[in-house]
Structure 1
Amino acid sequence: MFDFNNLIQFSHTYCIEICGLLVPMNVLASLQPIIFTVLHRPKKEINLMALVASFYALMIIFHVGSWFIVGVVRIQTFILLGFASCSLMTNIWAVIHGSSMRATIKFFQQFIVKFIKVITFQNQQVIPETK
């Protein structure tokens, strides 16, 4: 039979190392389905990258769950849980409805471009011509 006590002990002993590895891996892996969706890559590639990214997110959720089991309720656990949950939802969104993700990203891209144009136009100082 599998002993969860050893797994929980490992998770607690190497907490900094686990988080130091899983968080950047999760960020990088979760960006790939988003990028692949925007670039209209084949559905098979998007699904594969979302599966890999979801693995990292689930590992973070299990790691946080091991802390909840022993009663450690701190802000770090909730931040990690929220981060992993958002990552997991983003991956699911890319797999289930990639077209709405593309439309949302396109909308935000256009909004940011317009916003930057407004800011740069307002920051330009008109120097009067001297004759």
Structure 2
Amino acid sequence: MSLFDQLCEFSRNHCIGICGCLVPFNLILSFLTLVYVGREMSPQLVRKNAIAVYSGVTLMVLHVSTWFLIGVVMIPTFVLPVFGATCVAIHLWATKSPVTMRRFLLWLLQPVLNQKQRATI
């Protein structure tokens, strides 16, 4: 059995653990990127986040590819690459045009920011 076969087998045997780590990792870093852009924080910080997410998405796509190699076609094998592409798109937008992303985020939050009443418990 080759090293490639062993890596693929490892990936499939530990699917829950791999996805259980990579999905929250990408989700949290993508959210942090939105916060960093919204608060006009350092572009270097956004780039560092982007590099981490690109690495996580690459691992996730390689993991899903091991399932495609053996012919397993299920909803997660399509959802995870779309999720990864969304994370990459967010980071590309954040690194290439943070000003337009910030304007979009402010537009999304405008109804919340304009509320005059406070919530009471």
TM-score under structure 2 length normalisation: 0.86
Give per-residue Cα distances to partners, 1:35-65, cap 9 Å, x unaligned.
1111111211110111112211221111111
| 1:96 and 2:105 correspond | no
Letter in 2 for 1:110: Q
Letter in 2 for 1:96: K
The aligned residue for residue 31 of structure 2 is 31
Quick one: higher RCO (CA 8 Å, sep 6+), 1 or 2?
A: 2
The aligned residue for residue 76 of structure 2 is 76
TM-score under structure 1 length normalisation: 0.80
The aligned residue for residue 126 of structure 1 is none
Partners of 2:37 and 2:113 lie apart in 1 by 20
Letter in 1 for 2:57: A
Partners of 2:88 and 2:48 lie apart in 1 by 14
The DSSP-based 3-state class of the residue aligned with 2:105 is helix
Shift of 1:105: 0.4
The aligned residue for residue 14 of structure 1 is 14
Partners of 2:34 and 2:58 lie apart in 1 by 18
| 1:105 and 2:105 correspond | yes
- Structure 1 runs (4+) greater than 3 angstroms displaced: 111-114
Equivalenced residues, count:
116
Shift of 1:112: 4.6
The aligned residue for residue 45 of structure 1 is 45
CA RMSD of aligned residues (A): 1.8
Partners of 2:67 and 2:53 lie apart in 1 by 22
Letter in 1 for 2:55: F
Letter in 2 for 1:23: V
Give per-residue Cα distances to partners, 1:12-34, cap 9 Å, x unaligned.
01001111111111111111221
For the pair shown, the structure with the greater C-alpha radius of gyration is 1
